[in-house]
Amino acid sequence: MAIIRGASLVLALLGVLQGPAAWAQQKSITVASTTSTENSGFFKHILPLFKTRTGIEVRVVAQGTGQALDTGKRGDADVVFVHDRVKELALVRDGAFVNRHDVMYNDFVVVGPKADPARVSGGRDVVAALRKIASAKAPFVSRGDKSGTHAAELRLWQAADVDPAVGKGGWYRETGSGMGATLNTASGMNAYSLTDRGTWLSFRNRGDLLIVVEGDQKLFNQYGVMLVNPAKHAHVKKEAAQAFVDWLVSVEGQKAIADYKINGEQLFFPSAGR
Amino acid sequence: MNSLGEAFGAAWRLLVGFDAELAQVVGLSLQVSITAVMLATLIGLPLGAVIAVERFCGRQTLIVLLNALMGLPPVVVGLLVYLLLSRAGPLGSLGILFTPQAMIIAQTVLIAPIIAALSRQTIEDAWREYEEQLRSLGAHRLTAGMTLIWDTRFSLLTIILAGFGRAVAEVGAVMIVGGNIDGVTRVMTTAIALETSKGDLPLALGLGIVLITLVVVLNGLVAVIREAALRRYG
Amino acid sequence: MLPLELNGLSFAVGDTRIIRGITARIEAGPRTVILGPNGAGKSVLMRLCHGLLAPTDGRITWHGARNGDVRRHQAMVFQRPVMLRRSALANVMYGLVLAGKSRRESELRAMDVLEVVGLAPHASRPARVLSGGEQQRLALARAWALGPEVLFLDEPTANLDPSATQDIEHIINAIHASGTKIIMTTHNLGQARRLGDEILFLSNGRLMERTPIDRFFREPASPEAAAFIKGELPWQ
């Protein structure tokens, strides 16, 4: 008796153990993207639109930019959709990806405590603001995880002629984690940080933090989409993946991107073909 | 402390509302961890029994190793399984990375040592008590092992529950090999991690309370079954 | 299987010699009681004969064959009964099923034996909830059900009260009457007198003497035995 009950439970659970073939039969592709894009709710908005149009299910694995690019290189995804133009182009040259298309951009903002110890609030010059933060030795939390955001941050410090490593462990804190976790830390420490607007708009644990610097051209963040090279990885679902890439840069896709708003604010700005 | 109150509020709303998305996430958590603990028991229990009753060269070293493996960090297991199942890895052609199967494999690897090590200890303790009598009755070591497994079944059940607890509570392994894909590989712990990273701490904690409630209910059910069986078999 | 021959049997653990060169020939028939003070080596001797321990020197020979898989025709009851976590009936059936009997046969035989020892009403109760005396009776039933040629008993009533002891002794006699050879250890003189036909007296691992029961208490051959008898109170 108990044996029969046990066996039926096993069979029910084995529904989970259908072979990988079953998963592949539904039309689906795997896209490696970034946690900031996922956290902003962007995919929840556009993927259903794509599915309605093509019937293709898109499975997004949200990792840091560095990890996502690595996932693509290994062939564990069909498409990579991140925001580190420099690294992306380098990998296309290396043959890991077929080519790169601009899709959209969003912008970064600097957030900081209401008390604003470095006196940067209201500014539009991010480089000047960073210089002030460094000289005031005001606490600054960085992602420190080789993500697109992290890469952008480091480029800004360079432009400001500041080596943040000097303040490591002191006023400059690296969390080695995603945007959300980093903001949690910044909120807890009442520190400055660099974040993408999307994550900030949907972030619920702001504490005393608010946007202190925005609008600088240097804060614009370019997203690119790339197809994993089928020549290197034969199993890549190239038709379905190409369909996704094509849709993102199409008029319809670009409109869907522009339509995504949080609290009436647009997060991402279409930039294909520019 | 206000967050805590908000969290309980969120948990209550989640439980009362119990929408399709939550049901899916809870269901997947249970599917993955229950399957993993069943597989881990199939592997770990006989292994533990054999080590308990047999004597062989290197036995002590194996026991030390098994005990140490109980402390395997989930994130390390996740990484190892990821490298195995990645397309760039040896088992890449299976194509099961970022699927529930990969998550089951990772959790099985994580808990099999726990079940093996603890059942080894339990059965060895019983063997010390039963050895002479069982040998006198004509049981060879392997038969004795099976008899001991049945006789220590209540202790073993607790061990299996411990394994399940470890599996359903971990996030490091399933996050890496599953990818936390919405609707496909998102389980309770990875959902909690996601909501935390979005800064929605009350919701994250609320999900945590739902998870704990689930595990408590499950343990309660097992306790009831155990009591009934105990009364029957003594 | 009988006679059982012990030839210069010795057993040591490390440097400690527990059994020193015992030579004896045990025949079928009389109830053999191994008597001696605590620490004399009685339990170890039993385990050597039953094959649970291997001698460090000397030989054990059953009816011409070496102590190989003769365990089939022997059974042993220990001082503390070890019951499996299942019903009394299932416990008795365990050895029978192991010996290759069908479940049906085993169940019938087990019920028969439980009847004889007076435990039939408890057949489906968990063995572990029975009292100490009942569990020991169950252990005897379990051993007897196997139909052994030789039954070893190691201080079977040392932990039991007088009334339970009496029950056990009756059953032992019944088993003897059914044709099984009884080899038993005890340190209790009264029990030896009641249950023994011949006495093997052990002291410090050595076989001091081997005497039929009636003569042993009147004129023990060895000074150690004499001291032992004098030292023990008659009603123990």
pLDDT beneath 70: ranges in chain C: 64-71, 232-236
Q: Please work out, in degrees rounded to the nearest 5, the angle formed at the alpha carbon of residue A157 by the alpha carbons of A156 and A163.
A: 160
Q: For residue A272, what pLDDT is reported?
A: 85
Q: What pLDDT does residue A24 have?
A: 47
B180 contacts chain A (CB < 8 A): yes
Q: Cα Rg for chain B, rounded, in angstroms?
A: 20
Most confident of the following: A167-171, B89-93, C63-67? B89-93
Residues B26-68: tens digit of each pLDDT: 999 999 999 999 999 999 999 999 999 999 999 999 999 999 9
Instruction: Say if residues C40 and C204 touch (Cβ distance below 8 Å).
Output: yes
The answer to whether A71 and A265 are in contact (CB under 8 A) is no
Ranges of H-type helices in chain A: 2-14, 20-25, 35-39, 42-54, 65-74, 85-94, 126-136, 148-159, 179-189, 197-201, 238-249, 251-259
A193 near A213, Cβ under 8 Å?
Answer: no
E strand or H helix at B7, and its extent?
Answer: helix B2-17
Q: Which residues of chain B are within 8 Å of residue A20 when distances are taken between CB atoms?
A: 94-96, 99, 101
CA distance A6 to A9: 5
pLDDT in tens, B134-184: 999 989 888 999 999 999 999 999 999 999 999 999 999 999 999 999 989
Whether residues B132 and C82 touch (CB distance < 8 A) is answered with yes
Whether residue C92 contacts residue C114, with contact meaning beta carbons closer than 8 Å, is answered with yes
For residue A133, the model assigns a pLDDT of 93
Tell me, yes or no, if C80 comes closer than 8 A to chain B by beta carbon: no
Handedness of CA A120, A141, A66, B166 (dihedral sign): negative
Res. A23 pLDDT band, cuts 50 70 90: very low
Of B129, B138, B147, the CB nearest to C71: B138
Candidates C85, C87, C91, C124, partner chain B, best to mutate (most B CBs within 10 A): C85
Closest listed residue to residue B204, CA positions, set A175, A181, A210:
A181
Can you tell me the ipTM of this complex? Answer: 0.89
Nearest to B100 among A16, A35, A76 (CB): A16
Q: What is the pLDDT of residues B173-228, one digit of tens each?
A: 999 999 999 989 999 999 999 888 888 888 888 889 889 998 999 899 888 888 88
- Calpha distance C200→C214 (Å, rounded): 13
> Is there a contact between C71 and B132 if contact means CB atoms under 8 Å apart?
no
- Predicted pLDDT of residue A274: 58
In whole angstroms, what is the distance from residue A71 CA to residue A96 CA?
Answer: 11
Q: Is the pLDDT of residue A192 over 70?
A: yes
Q: Taking the model in full, what pTM does it have? A: 0.85
Give the gap in angstroms from C-alpha A40 to the nearest C-alpha of chain B: 8
Residue A182 structure tokens: 């980093």
Task: Read off the pLDDT band of A6 (50, 70, 90).
Answer: low
Q: Nearest residue on chain B to C147, judged by CA atoms?
A: B137
Residues of C in contact with B234 (CB under 8 A): 85, 125-129
Asked if residue A13 has pLDDT above 60, the reply is no
Pairwise CA distance, residues A106 & B1, whole Å: 35
Assess whether pLDDT exceeds 70 at residue A19.
no
Residue B70 tokens read as 């109980």
Structure tokens that stand for B26 in this block: 């809870």
CA distance A204 to chain B (A): 5
Minimal Cβ distance to B198: which of A24, A74, A202: A202
Q: Residue A22: what pLDDT?
A: 45
